[in-house]
Structure 1
């Protein structure tokens, strides 16, 4: 495991750094770990005098491993795993080129596969020169290919001139040194950062200056060195432009390091002795120990844990995924707070950095002046980066102890309505009676439930909060200040007493709250909530976060609040949160039951409509689902082939190339075909490209039609039934688009013979998957279902319970408890009812 290898290597690196610091003699300057990391982020290659030192990795205390992927590569893989959307835009063909070449030489891959990959590799190579005008480059990790090309072009006349001088004075070792420096630049890997090339160029210019000191005007290298000096200054200006993004790079590096250091969490997944509770506790502790700069990276760690469990298909840890999602949703409440804190800490350093970049200029072509300015700038930047690193290392724990801002309820105060327009007419007596009772239940509940009392209590709580936080200014003598303080304390105590009295009047019991299992409630709110974004779920999460802060304050002695009052407030807090959590659990269960029943109803209505239309053939739901899945697979394959054809055309040269006279093309083994003769200035090239673009648009419409039909089976694929009219529409659309595509493919068949033949074959697979299913004879006879009587009995019992609720005289909590009991006593065996619907459908068909 490469991640495990990296973690071991990093641990070894930290141990070596610790030993080094401990071995430092008294009085010597200690090497801080943050200083080491910042020097890796902002290396000054110009301070090195040896090219070999320049080409080594700029890391202190490195522990090298030949098999270990570097941190950047590992992080890129993890981010791709966390965000599947970016995977589609990821281009790894340059890496595949080496792998395919090695596999081909061993006979593991045939020529057909290699030819397919070759097109993408060639396309990736062509993309290297597309960003030549890009000026902002991370010069400490990347380089600009266009700038390197200018350097190579400028060095050619210099090398030629030096060889001419060497013929005159072969004994001059200075000329040998210039050639060696130039050859070092030319032989350096193209992966080398721009600033390392800059340092190598400085060494070359320094060596050339030694010759300039002894050479006369006739034998001077001044003209050949002029372009290189300008290049060096331009590269230093590129470095200045790069400094604007240094703070973002510090954040990225901190997040990268944090993400990779989370390996023990993932290692625990594969240990038998590590249970779900222990892994969950480790994850929560890992997030709670965050700093403001790596908080998001630690949340991403929990997301990756879920991905790893799902990819490993460990059914034993299926429940852990849901609990981890709940933990992530809980801590995301503090996203805004942490971001604001980081922005506040970042702002002064960011301003100083921008001001420094504005005044920093390189205008002097003198080598030593440029070098001295760079070293001075690096010292200033190092100070700014260290300042930001220290300020952003604050822990998020104090932020977690701040009560979050209260949620607004104004947008959720609309009164619910009963959707009478969705009632389906029916002649069955029992069904009509059930619908009538359901309408009466809905009317009684909507007319009877009033929330004015609980809303007034909520507003009074806000007033109490403002009163307690009010800063009272005491004036006058000591006795007068003492009286003012007494009046303020009395006012607050009266407000709290009224709050407790009004709470009891609504049925909010403080004694029952003291009986709540606090630890279990905390675990349920943090790790036991659904992932949805319902308002009630938000309230519970915000309430849980606020409760944790309040409970910590309850343990502190307070002169203004007595022990009894504090105990009552604590009980009230526990009682309200526990009741909200129980309600949410009950609502979640019933909502899922209703969703599945609604899906069953829609499927049966579709079947009823199909049964009325005896002219249309009726397809079994699972049969049509299989047809759609097969057709979608072929459509995706077709789109992939079109992308391949487009990339192949984009690899065409810019202008005409004579095949007979081009020796490289002859030796390449490329056949002289109509396609090989195309270039981007050719009229047929544009026509071919336009045809492929049209085919892509039509193919995307086919895929969109198929996916739209598949959307009908979302979350109910095992009972899905499509309307016959929808099936006919899907087939007709695919047929029409396929006919157009075939005619378009014929237009380019002479240019891309093999690809067109393959495309037509795949297109036939798309159409045949939809048009050749086996028909199932529809049965339209009536089938009696006795379950409607049982359903009516359940509705009647619900009606009796609903009508017995006295909304005018009962307390709020008593009404809420009766409503929850009503839902709990519905006795809807959802699996039985769901199975009954499926059985009824199968019996009819």
Structure 2
């Protein structure tokens, strides 16, 4: 075989030099490979799904739907490569060396660069830059393989399951769907959706915080990268109270909200959250600090990154930049798949000639294929090495799972959106860099307009970012392995952005509060048993410009008055609110009188019945009656507890304001849990006593009503689908919708009217419905519940007289405003001063006038409000004391003490006046029953009952409206003085001065016994009674006029002699008329009212004597005409 003509292996020709041998080997390998590749290209058919096939067959219009810009160049590149290979197979000598250099086109000379293939390479580099490809291969792809946050989907089922859980509109089963009530109008069907309940919102927020805690403990749920500066419990608790406007009566909620959520469930979750709130807050703080370090692999050097939100901002930008795929690159999954396909093709291309060679050896020499593994032939050895290498690579590819993609063409669009949004993020970064991390510094460095613009830009970006994330998940959900790292970096960036927005908004809130409401620039906050306490902030809360609700302001003022803080300011605040209430009610009474002028007696009675059995209207701008009574100090123990509840709510509102201006307190307040339990007990526990259905709401009954109306509404919708043209069905749904939209503060009586309307609409449908479309089964529980409500109304009637008494006394207490107003103004009207000029003494004229007004206020009282007017005077005295007018306070208390001695008599008269009304009411309630389920009978019975009840009420008002002035003309019963038992003294021998002292003591005792002998006074009293009876006796004179004149003269003489005897006997016991001085009855009355101190000496006897003397003076003003002038003066002198 050693011949120089061997064309197989030049090394067998020993006449050729080594250099020529290497060149020949290289030439042989190049020519062989080119011939082989040309043969494969010409024989192998083009795959239908290959890029070459699309490049040759797809139209230019359809090519625009494909994101790969170089698709049209693929066919040209393939043709140019085939042409180059054909030319290379005919090269020889020096041209073979040039061809090897041609494969590295960057080393070619200028002429070769201008070849067709080089031009195509340059065009392809524009669509797929070489730098981007290098960045993709060297930087992005390794990070994607080693540090991607999410694995790609393995199947379409996984992706669909992810879409159903994450991309669905509502996640989780704990959320309650709002009830949709469809009603029909002239234009068609309109669906009315109920708003989401604040309780549901709070429950959802609590569940979110609970999920955060679960992530930190188990790591099984998604991260939440930012929270407010307050603790987790306060975030949920304050959010709930803010949703219900800090109103414990839940008046801002509707009946539909009761069906959506349960307060008891919220309380349970908050109790659990309270115990873990410090742990959650600590873990959130640590997690936010860890967010500054970024994601492993995606952030390299964090040494120069600062703390706080600025560090998270920079970290998020770095992650987003590194996670952004290079421009015009392939999907990493597609790239790996194409790379795997290329490796398979390489293996097949290498394996095919080796397989042919092995078959040839087997046919020729029966040699196994392994004999070629040790061949020194350059082509065979290279092919064997490549095949072994490809085998190991393909074995690894067999274990690689399949990856699911929605549409591979979406990758380019996704990268464009990510890159475009990164440009938006880069535009927001300079705005954030201008901000400082302190709210106080923001107010100094920027004005309000600049901060408002910055906050609007940031919030707008946050909304755009949220929409971008939703769009990425919905449109490119199968590319989650590529986009999730980018979105996590965006979330870290947003956590910093939201914190910066919170700083801006906190600064702006505080600036606005300072400008609009004079919010204190500096304040000191202390922790109390009821919550955070600050005297500066509480004083700000009570101002007129403060946004605190009026009922909470009243609770704060009430608490400060009880602790004697800021007395002058608080009393002035009460006076202003009382004045608004007084003016509103006076205007309302005047309007009522104007309306009554145009009505007949029957119409007036109907209006009175309707007013009495209707709900009282309360304006939010005017303080309520109960709150005003609590401020005046006339509340009961139950009201005190309610006031403490309102005060704790006021402190909670203040804490909400502080959290809004950047003040954070992560300490758990024990008052929060107490407040929560109190709220739950108020709304979930039914009162054992009878409910006033005309003024009180019952959440328990409302829940029952909602439960029985829900099946009725569902059944009606089903029937309406069969009969959409029926107006009755739409009216039923509209009536149910109206019931569900009513606020929870509505009285039970008003709700029963809506209930009756629903039943009436259903009965109209039942008149035309057949059995299949009937509502009788669903309507039966509704009727039964209405009957139960009517029975509750009957139980309310038993307390109607107590309600009349309470209302009358409350109104009497509140209309005493002119007295308290005069206390502040320190002046009264000129007419009243002239009328009461006898009371005015020197500089104390205004005080005496106020005392005169108070006295007249009590003397004009009725049986019903006498006790309340006494309390008004005591309250007035307390206010005078708080204002520093001690003398006036003592005088007012003296006046109150004087009239209190008549209170038992007034109460007894009130009891006697009430007895007939009580008996009539009990007899009527005993016979009234609601057992009939017929709506017409229920309505008729209610109207008839209201009319009869109001007649009883009207008679009761007339009976208790009698003036108490007659009680003051009666003498008070004096208690008998008990005998004092003297201790027995031992006898002893006395001498000298001791004996003389003993004699003097005996004389004094004898004289005192004689003076204190009341037998003569008793005889005088009996004689006076006889004289009074004879004077008052009516005599029927007989005979003619002359005889009647004689008889009248004899009777007058007899009466005058009797009066003279009384005067004579009174003089015998020392009751002489004071003729030397002029008696001033008004001065005596004033002194007896104002000069008697409380709890001093024998105050009780002094007041009874003063009361008797005042009654006698009043009688002496208009004595009997049968007495002469001198006799009258003598009697008045004796009394004075």
TM-score exceeds 0.5: yes
Q: What's 2:1112 paired with?
A: 550
- Summarize the Cα distance change of 1:466–1:113 in structure 2 as closer, same or farther, 3 Å threshold: farther
Aligned-residue offset at 1:445: 5.8
Q: What's 2:872 paired with?
A: 301
Alignment partner for residue 785 of structure 2, among 201, 212, 231? 231
Alignment partner for residue 414 of structure 1, among 959, 979, 983? 979
Aligned-residue offset at 1:417: 4.9
- Summarize the Cα distance change of 1:243–1:408 in structure 2 as closer, same or farther, 3 Å threshold: same
- Summarize the Cα distance change of 1:225–1:29 in structure 2 as closer, same or farther, 3 Å threshold: same
Provide Cα deviations, 1:233-262, integer angstroms capped at 9, x if missing partner: 111111111112212211211111121111
Aligned-residue offset at 1:164: 3.0
Are residues 1:380 and 2:948 paired? yes
Q: What's 2:970 paired with?
A: 403
Residue pair 1:142, 1:192 contacting (<8 A) in 2 also: yes
Aligned-residue offset at 1:121: 1.2
Provide Cα deviations, 1:430-451, integer angstroms capped at 9, x if missing partner: xxxx999999998876665225
Q: What's 2:933 paired with?
A: 365
Q: What's 1:54 paired with?
A: none
Are residues 1:126 and 2:680 paired? yes
Distance 1:207 1:137 in 2: 28
* Residues 1-400 of structure 1: pairs in structure 2 closer than 5 A: 1-21=576-596, 24=598, 39-43=610-614, 66-78=620-632, 81-82=633-634, 89-90=641-642, 92-93=644-645, 96-97=648-649, 100-101=652-653, 103-107=655-659, 111=665, 115-128=669-682, 131-132=685-686, 134=688, 136-273=690-827, 275-312=846-883, 314=884, 317-400=885-968
Aligned-residue offset at 1:344: 3.3
Residue pair 2:630, 2:639 contacting (<8 A) in 1 also: no
Aligned-residue offset at 1:549: 3.1
- Summarize the Cα distance change of 1:123–1:459 in structure 2 as closer, same or farther, 3 Å threshold: farther
Provide Cα deviations, 1:709-767, integer angstroms capped at 9, x if missing partner: xxxxxxxxxxxxxxxxxxxxxxxxxxxxxxxxxxxxxxxxxxxxxxxxxxxxxxxxxxx
Aligned-residue offset at 1:135: 5.4
Alignment partner for residue 528 of structure 1, among 1083, 1087, 1091? 1091
Q: What's 2:1008 paired with?
A: 449
Residue pair 2:809, 2:868 contacting (<8 A) in 1 also: yes
SS at match of 1:453: coil
- Summarize the Cα distance change of 1:533–1:242 in structure 2 as closer, same or farther, 3 Å threshold: farther
Distance 2:933 2:927 in 1: 18
Residue pair 1:178, 1:204 contacting (<8 A) in 2 also: yes
Provide Cα deviations, 1:642-687, integer angstroms capped at 9, x if missing partner: xxxxxxxxxxxxxxxxxxxxxxxxxxxxxxxxxxxxxxxxxxxxxx
Q: What's 1:565 paired with?
A: 1127
SS at match of 1:75: helix
Aligned-residue offset at 1:286: 1.4
Aligned-residue offset at 1:484: 9.3
Provide Cα deviations, 1:449-504, integer angstroms capped at 9, x if missing partner: 22543453145314422552378697996599999988876776555434333332
Aligned-residue offset at 1:105: 4.8
Distance 1:38 1:253 in 2: 15
- Summarize the Cα distance change of 1:112–1:251 in structure 2 as closer, same or farther, 3 Å threshold: farther
Residue pair 1:233, 1:363 contacting (<8 A) in 2 also: yes
Distance 1:516 1:454 in 2: 27
Q: What's 2:1073 paired with?
A: 510
- Summarize the Cα distance change of 1:487–1:105 in structure 2 as closer, same or farther, 3 Å threshold: same
Aligned-residue offset at 1:524: 0.5
Provide Cα deviations, 1:157-184, integer angstroms capped at 9, x if missing partner: 2233223333444444433322222232
Greater shift after overlay, 196-205 or 480-489? 480-489
- Summarize the Cα distance change of 1:101–1:533 in structure 2 as closer, same or farther, 3 Å threshold: same
Residue pair 2:822, 2:850 contacting (<8 A) in 1 also: yes
Aligned-residue offset at 1:197: 1.1
Distance 1:346 1:446 in 2: 53
Provide Cα deviations, 1:775-825, integer angstroms capped at 9, x if missing partner: xxxxxxxxxxxxxxxxxxxxxxxxxxxxxxxxxxxxxxxxxxxxxxxxxxx
Provide Cα deviations, 1:407-437, integer angstroms capped at 9, x if missing partner: 132xx2423758999xxxxxxxxxxxx9999
Aligned-residue offset at 1:546: 2.7
Provide Cα deviations, 1:13-53, integer angstroms capped at 9, x if missing partner: 2333344445x3xx855975x9766543223xxxxxxxxxx
Residue pair 2:695, 2:747 contacting (<8 A) in 1 also: yes
* Residues 708-719 of structure 1: pairs in structure 2 closer than 5 A: none
Distance 1:516 1:435 in 2: 47
- Summarize the Cα distance change of 1:296–1:362 in structure 2 as closer, same or farther, 3 Å threshold: same
Distance 2:642 2:1004 in 1: 55
TM norm structure 1: 0.57
Distance 2:782 2:738 in 1: 15
Aligned-residue offset at 1:507: 3.0
Distance 2:713 2:753 in 1: 19
SS at match of 1:217: coil
Provide Cα deviations, 1:114-164, integer angstroms capped at 9, x if missing partner: 622212212212322675363511110113333223222222322332233
Distance 2:948 2:996 in 1: 79
- Summarize the Cα distance change of 1:197–1:85 in structure 2 as closer, same or farther, 3 Å threshold: closer
- Summarize the Cα distance change of 1:116–1:344 in structure 2 as closer, same or farther, 3 Å threshold: same
Distance 1:513 1:507 in 2: 16
Structure 1 unaligned segments of length 5 or more: list them. 44-56, 422-433, 575-845
- Summarize the Cα distance change of 1:8–1:501 in structure 2 as closer, same or farther, 3 Å threshold: same
Structure 2 unaligned segments of length 5 or more: list them. 1-575, 829-845, 987-992
- Summarize the Cα distance change of 1:544–1:38 in structure 2 as closer, same or farther, 3 Å threshold: farther
What's the C-alpha RMSD, in Å, of the aligned pairs? 3.8
- Summarize the Cα distance change of 1:87–1:139 in structure 2 as closer, same or farther, 3 Å threshold: closer
Distance 1:435 1:146 in 2: 86
- Summarize the Cα distance change of 1:187–1:113 in structure 2 as closer, same or farther, 3 Å threshold: farther
Distance 2:1017 2:687 in 1: 64
Distance 2:902 2:666 in 1: 53
* Residues 501-650 of structure 1: pairs in structure 2 closer than 5 A: 501-512=1064-1075, 515-532=1078-1095, 534=1097, 536-556=1098-1118, 558=1120, 560-574=1122-1136
Provide Cα deviations, 1:523-549, integer angstroms capped at 9, x if missing partner: 110111111275x43333223333333
Residue pair 2:972, 2:1108 contacting (<8 A) in 1 also: no
Provide Cα deviations, 1:610-640, integer angstroms capped at 9, x if missing partner: xxxxxxxxxxxxxxxxxxxxxxxxxxxxxxx
- Summarize the Cα distance change of 1:39–1:398 in structure 2 as closer, same or farther, 3 Å threshold: farther
Provide Cα deviations, 1:569-603, integer angstroms capped at 9, x if missing partner: 211110xxxxxxxxxxxxxxxxxxxxxxxxxxxxx
Distance 1:245 1:438 in 2: 70
Residue pair 1:41, 1:250 contacting (<8 A) in 2 also: no
Distance 1:418 1:463 in 2: 38
